[in-house]
């Protein structure tokens, strides 16, 4: 199976790899997937408390090239977005952007889950009610 | 000069040796006869070529040429052996013993036979990939007609104790079948010394062409018979009908002859390269060898690089280096290698594995390049891996409640 040019680019030059301080109140962390499934994504957002916009996003991913690319792309998209806008990122947009084949759709689903998990972590830390997410996510 | 891509997947298939191709060519054009045409020179020539190849193949495994049944490959051989024995020896019993790291061609055929009333025991292998002889002995029943154990495993390269298995089987009057696809041509295989009664193997794993293989069926002590699974003109002593693939068979014969003559020197050279690759890669932190280190084919190494996913790892260099992984990120089931899981590896380690299969044309330069590329990619991906970070921070990953999906 050949990878799309965009997946290859993200794999070769991943954007926003790294770790934010998970103890900071402005940082939300989402850790999704499982080692046994061959995919684990950790996505973090740092929210500007004044504007409510995401000022930084970082990821670390254990997984195939498509999983790495999906999380790299997600962090790019998250920066500068409000929490509400970020909440609306749909996995199918990731699929389209990266031209993921059907067997790799789960990578995009994982990225969407990671975004929502990070947002909920941030909301919880800041005394806001968690938003309902279909998949159960664990921090 | 290094040429790309580098092929290190010789357990999947091998390139045809140019000497093999050269031998085959005339049998496509000028010597195109049907080996079953008994009444003209075209047929005689084809038959002579097949007879010669049959001798070359037999010699490599120390068999009699009459004991060689040409097939389309090892999958067909596995099917013919298992189904053929099950049908032929139905009056003696219906129990077959095999193991859980056999090739799918054996496992799926066994599943099929179960539906037809066969009683199959799937022995579990030990964590080194070898069967436990005591468990094999304990599994024997009065109704056991066949022990079907692979000679060498395709993913980890471990070599089963065939002599011990057959000694036990002989005592009980049970037949031994072995899928020896990965072993023949790579290590000395002798059906008499090893006590094997039926054995499947394939040309394309030993620098011969694809689409041709052989089933060895013992004729003496005991005389073994299998019922045909393909009916027709009664070729191959009635056990496998169908016009013989003369060019393929000629190539197969030549491939066997080359393996016979060159195995010793080739094994020395290739195992040295394999050992270099393995030693260097195992210097990486949290890298583990899968399968028994001793009882193993000389050209294979299966290594898990913990906290890095196999497919992601391959992506780092798969334009330049061809290897394979036990990760199954592309398969619909998302299930990693059943062979590695059978060794007791957790799914995480199975997902993190690469199989390196060296071959006749592998050079030291290629191995040096591979060591560098693989090491660099492992390090790069670990920097990106949340699991590696947790490991480094001393977090117990079993304490985390992972979201399985």
Torsion of CA B47, B49, B52, B58, to 10 degrees: -80
DSSP B168: H
Average pLDDT, chain A: 92
Cβ contacts of A70 on chain B, cutoff 8 Å: none
**B315 vs A11, A35, A62: nearest CB:** A11
Q: What is the pTM assigned to this prediction? A: 0.94
Per the omega criterion (within 30 degrees of 0), is the bond before B222 cis? Answer: yes
Among residues 16-35 of chain A, which lie with CB inside 8 Å of chain B? 17, 19, 31-35
Cβ contacts of A66 on chain B, cutoff 8 Å: 329
Which tokens sit at B174?
């049970």
User: Using an 8 Å Cβ cutoff, are B38 and B50 in contact?
Assistant: no
Interface test with B, best of A6, A63, A74 (most B CBs within 10 A): A63
Angle at B373 between CA B371 and CA B374, to 5 degrees: 65
Cβ contacts of B400 on chain A, cutoff 8 Å: 31, 138
pLDDT band at A136, cuts 50/70/90? very low
Interchain proximity B309–A62, CB inside 8 Å: yes
Q: Which of B68, B378, B98, B383 is nearest to B249 (CA)?
A: B68
- Report the pLDDT value the prediction gives residue B38, as an integer from 0 to 100: 93
User: pLDDT tens-digit profile of A39-90?
Assistant: 999 999 999 989 999 999 999 999 999 999 999 999 999 999 999 999 999 9
- The contacts found for B366-372 with CB under 8 angstroms, 24 or more apart, are B366/B2, B366/B6, B366/B8, B367/B273, B367/B276, B367/B277, B369/B2, B369/B6, B369/B320, B369/B321, B370/B6, B370/B8, B370/B277, B370/B317, B370/B321, B371/B276, B371/B277, B371/B280, B371/B281
Which tokens sit at A109?
């689903």
User: Using an 8 Å Cβ cutoff, are A16 and A37 in contact?
Assistant: no
Task: Kindly tell me if the per-residue pLDDT of A137 is higher than 70.
Answer: no
How far is residue B199's CA from residue B162's CA, in Å, rounded to a whole number?
12
How far is residue B96's CA from residue B83's CA, in Å, rounded to a whole number?
11
Residue segments in chain B with a per-residue pLDDT below the cut of 50: 330
Interchain proximity A135–B312, CB inside 8 Å: no
Residue with tokens 């509400």: A84
Interchain proximity A64–B346, CB inside 8 Å: no
pLDDT band at A139, cuts 50/70/90? very low
Q: Which of A79, A80, A106, A83 is nearest to A95 (CA)?
A: A106
How far is residue B318's CA from residue B329's CA, in Å, rounded to a whole number?
15
User: Using an 8 Å Cβ cutoff, are B286 and B338 in contact?
Assistant: no
User: Using an 8 Å Cβ cutoff, are B298 and B267 in contact?
Assistant: yes
| CA count, 13 A, side-chain hemisphere, A127 | 0
Interchain proximity A42–B403, CB inside 8 Å: no
Residues found in chain B: 405
Q: Which of A131, A43, A41, A127 is nearest to A83 (CA)?
A: A131
How far is residue B279's CA from residue A79's CA, in Å, rounded to a whole number?
44
- Report the pLDDT value the prediction gives residue A1, as an integer from 0 to 100: 61
């Amino acid at each position: 199976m050949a990878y799309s040019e965009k997946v290859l680019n993200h794999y070769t030059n991943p954007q926003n790899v790294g770790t934010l301080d998970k103890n900071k109140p402005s940082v939300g962390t989402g850790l999704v997937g499982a080692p046994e499934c061959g995919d684990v994504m950790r996505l973090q957002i740092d929210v500007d408390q004044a504007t409510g916009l995401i000022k930084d996003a970082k990821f670390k991913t254990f997984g195939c090239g498509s999983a790495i690319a999906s999380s790299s792309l997600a962090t790019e998209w998250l920066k500068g977005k409000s929490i509400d806008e970020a909440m609306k990122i749909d996995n199918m947009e990731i699929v389209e952007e990266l031209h993921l084949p059907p067997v790799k759709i789960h990578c995009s689903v994982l990225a969407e889950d990671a975004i929502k998990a990070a947002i909920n972590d941030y909301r919880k830390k800041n005394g806001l009610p968690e938003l309902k997410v279909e998949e159960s996510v664990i921090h | 000069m290094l040429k790309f891509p580098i092929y290190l997947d010789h357990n999947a298939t091998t390139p045809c040796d140019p000497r093999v191709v050269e031998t085959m060519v005339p049998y496509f054009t000028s010597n195109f006869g049907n080996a079953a045409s008994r009444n003209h020179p075209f047929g005689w020539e084809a038959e002579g070529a097949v007879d010669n190849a049959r001798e070359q193949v037999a010699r490599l495994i120390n068999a009699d040429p009459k004991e060689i049944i040409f097939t389309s490959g090892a999958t067909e051989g596995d099917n013919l052996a298992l189904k053929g024995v099950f049908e032929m020896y139905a009056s003696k019993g219906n129990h077959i013993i095999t193991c859980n790291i056999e090739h799918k061609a054996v496992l799926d055929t066994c599943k099929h036979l179960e539906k037809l009333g066969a009683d199959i025991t799937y022995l579990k292998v030990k964590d080194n990939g070898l069967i436990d002889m005591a468990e094999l002995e304990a599994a024997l029943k009065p109704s056991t007609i066949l022990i079907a154990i692979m000679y060498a495993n395709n993913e980890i390269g471990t070599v089963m104790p065939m002599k011990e298995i057959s000694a036990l089987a002989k005592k009980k009057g049970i037949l031994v079948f072995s899928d020896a696809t990965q072993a023949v041509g790579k290590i000395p295989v002798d059906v008499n010394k090893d006590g094997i009664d039926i054995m499947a193997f394939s040309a394309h794993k030993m620098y011969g062409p694809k689409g041709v293989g052989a089933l060895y069926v013992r004729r003496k002590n005991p005389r073994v018979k299998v019922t045909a699974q393909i009916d027709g003109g009664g070729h191959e002593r009635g056990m496998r009908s169908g016009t013989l693939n003369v060019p393929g068979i000629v190539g197969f014969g030549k491939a066997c002859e080359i393996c016979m003559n060159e195995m010793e020197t080739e094994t020395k050279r290739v195992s040295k390269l394999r050992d270099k690759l393995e030693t260097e890669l195992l210097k990486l932190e949290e890298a583990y060898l899968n399968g028994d280190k001793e009882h193993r084919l000389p050209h294979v190494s299966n290594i898990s690089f913990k906290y890095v996913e196999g497919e992601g790892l391959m992506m780092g260099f798969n334009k330049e280096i061809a290897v394979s992984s036990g990760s199954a990120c592309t398969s619909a089931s998302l299930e990693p290698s059943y062979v590695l899981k059978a060794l007791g590896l957790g799914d995480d380690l199975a997902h993190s594995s690469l199989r390196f299969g060296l071959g006749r044309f592998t050079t030291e330069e290629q191995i040096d390049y591979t060591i560098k590329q693989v090491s660099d990619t492992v390090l790069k991906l670990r920097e990106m891996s949340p699991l590696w970070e947790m490991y480094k921070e001393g977090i117990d990953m079993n304490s985390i409640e992972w979201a399985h999906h």
